[in-house]
Amino acid sequence: MNPYSGHILLVDDEPAFQRLGAAWLQGLGFRVTLAGDVDSALQSFREARPDVVLLDLVMPPSLKPEAGLSLLEAFREVPVIVITGHADHALALEATERGAWDFIAKPVDPELLRLIVGRAVQKARLEQEVQALKAAASVDEDYGIVGHAAPVRALRDMIRRVGPTRLSVVILGPTGTGKELVARALHKTGARNGAPFVAVHCGAVPAELLESELFGHLKGSFTGAHRDQPGLLASADGGTLFLDEVGEMPAPMQVKLLRFLQEGTYLPVGGRELKRADVRVVAATHRDLPGMVADGSFREDLFYRLKGIVLRTPPLDERRDDVPLLATLFLKRAVGARRRAQLAPDAAAWLAGQPWPGNVRELQSLMDCAAALAEPNARGEVVVGLDALLFAQGSGDGSAKPEPEPRRQGLDEAIAELEVRMITAALNATNNNRSESARLLGISRVGLLKKLDRLGLRQDHPAAER
């Protein structure tokens, strides 16, 4: 990869240096954004998201080095190269102590600038890669199914046990609860991992096309069939076929699917020769499949063929304690690895109290929306508070949820309830890290420990940090 392909924020108030420095860096292949004072430097950092900052410490309006030094904290996510005068050795050392990655003296030697900036960009890239790998690793451990709630832990345990078998699986659960995520996890944990995972939404394909979609068709078998077309069963051969919303499958197609499941063979539309495919079938629906069997709208024999085992994805309402954790995950994903992001305690507590009829998907889209609307603070962090969430919710679907009716209770009781909600939310959002939770809540660690004892929360939230 070209070592000179990064994005540099050049912060210097001297127009001549801006011009020459930018031209030299651009000539090497870097993208350059310019800023000439403290405020525009902060704004450009937020908007341009550079890989590296070149920073002159003495700038308007104050022309005092302290103003430049204070920017080091705001830019701490990326390597900062400080530009100093020749006589400013002490200042350069102080800048390095306060987080600058390197320094270079004016008048700047262009070759030295090339070397230092090139190294800084490489460091920035490595750090970005490490962050991305860490994020991916922490998600992979749980097959991307995040949550500490008992039904979620039980679900992951079942996936670990059922994934490697050949059993077919039916996943039942309300919309947006992660059924497809579970199906993919089953595929990933099984021996078919390297083969394709093919999903078909049985309700989204018109009934008359579903057969050809699954089994394929031969040229001329119907108007518009201009050539032979293999179906999704053929594409999934050796892997997993995920039948999403299987409850929507029309009755004639149910018969044909059953035949395939029993015999392992199928007939493409317009074909005479049976084809064979080796697929593991995982089916899912938000509908009450056993109820549909009982009322005759879903074939009983097919249901028993599909249901080697039944897994259930719980509604988000039944795993409220996971809401802040999931919300923080989605917020971080939406903001990206290069920015820090966190949920303010009032936001976490509010989220945990919402009904979530659209389940995890609804929470995810709210966090996507909040992340898109949120402005990073002066330190480049995105902190989503309750006001931002309410705003995002209003702009998301235009229907702010009404606040629940206040219950009749005394002030002490109400305060204790609020404390429990905010503390639980902070602990969940930080994986029970007490120091981090105390910081989020704006209290000391000792203060938090006392509250945990007073509110009887200590045993529910064992300490995570050593």
Ligand X SMILES: Nc1ncnc2c1ncn2[C@@H]1O[C@H](COP(=O)(O)OP(=O)(O)OP(=O)(O)O)[C@@H](O)[C@H]1O
Smaller CB distance to ligand X: residue 28 or 337? 337
Q: Which of 364, 428, 430, 437 binds ligand X (CB under 6 A)?
A: 364
Smaller CB distance to ligand X: residue 326 or 344? 326
Stretch that binds ligand X, among 43-51, 119-127, 178-186, 408-416 (CB under 6 A): 178-186
Q: Which of 40, 96, 175, 432 binds ligand X (CB under 6 A)?
A: 175
Among 199, 160, 204, smallest CA distance to 279 is for: 199
Stretch that binds ligand X, among 110-118, 125-133, 170-178, 409-417 (CB under 6 A): 170-178
By beta carbon distance, the residue nearest ligand X is 178
Output the smallest distance, CB 326 to ligand X, in A. 6
The crossing angle, in degrees rounded to 10, of helices 345-352 and 411-429 is 100
Output the smallest distance, CB 280 to ligand X, in A. 18
Contact 218, 269 (CB under 8 A): yes
Tokens representing 161? 């046990």
For ligand X, the binding residues in 240-259 under the rule CB under 6 A are 244
**What's the CA gap between 367 and 352, in Å, rounded?**
13
Interface map 287-326 toward ligand X (x if CB under 6 A): --------------------------x------------x
Output the smallest distance, CB 367 to ligand X, in A. 11
**What's the CA gap between 341 and 349, in Å, rounded?**
17
Tokens representing 466? 């050593």
Q: Does 177 contact ligand X by CB under 6 A?
A: yes
Angle (CA) 298-300-304 rounded to 5° is: 120
Tokens representing 370? 């909040």
Output the smallest distance, CB 192 to ligand X, in A. 19
Stretch that binds ligand X, among 8-16, 74-82, 176-184, 409-417 (CB under 6 A): 176-184
Among 29, 20, 174, smallest CA distance to 107 is for: 20
Stretch that binds ligand X, among 11-19, 360-368, 389-397, 405-413 (CB under 6 A): 360-368
27 CB-near residues (< 8 Å, 6+ apart):
none
In this structure, the strands spanning 216-217 and 382-384 are: unpaired
For ligand X, the binding residues in 179-198 under the rule CB under 6 A are 179-181
Stretch that binds ligand X, among 14-22, 58-66, 173-181, 275-283 (CB under 6 A): 173-181
For ligand X, the binding residues in 203-232 under the rule CB under 6 A are none
Angle (CA) 439-403-360 rounded to 5° is: 65
Q: How far is CA 394 from the centre of its chain?
A: 22
The residue type of 364 is Q
**What's the CA gap between 201 and 120, in Å, rounded?**
48
Output the smallest distance, CB 235 to ligand X, in A. 20
Q: Which of 119, 305, 333, 361 binds ligand X (CB under 6 A)?
A: 361
Q: Does 123 contact ligand X by CB under 6 A?
A: no
SS3 146: coil
Question: Does the bond joining 110 to the residue before it have cis omega, within 30 degrees of 0?
Answer: no
Output the smallest distance, CB 138 to ligand X, in A. 12
Contact 345, 335 (CB under 8 A): no
In this structure, the strands spanning 229-230 and 216-217 are: antiparallel
Contact 342, 441 (CB under 8 A): no
Q: Which of 50, 68, 147, 324 binds ligand X (CB under 6 A)?
A: 147
Smaller CB distance to ligand X: residue 32 or 149? 149
Q: Which of 50, 163, 178, 216 binds ligand X (CB under 6 A)?
A: 178
Q: Which of 65, 176, 231, 247 binds ligand X (CB under 6 A)?
A: 176
Q: Which of 32, 91, 92, 145 binds ligand X (CB under 6 A)?
A: 145
Q: Which of 282, 360, 384, 392 binds ligand X (CB under 6 A)?
A: 360
Smaller CB distance to ligand X: residue 41 or 171? 171
146 CB-near residues (< 8 Å, 6+ apart):
139, 152, 322, 325, 326, 329
For 165-250, where are the alpha helices, taking DSSP H only?
179-189, 207-215, 232-235
**What's the CA gap between 255 and 266, in Å, rounded?**
11
Residue written as token pair 């009404």: 402
Interface map 66-105 toward ligand X (x if CB under 6 A): ----------------------------------------
Q: Does 286 contact ligand X by CB under 6 A?
A: yes
Interacting residues toward ligand X by CB under 6 A: 144-147, 173, 175-181, 244, 286, 313, 326, 360-361, 364
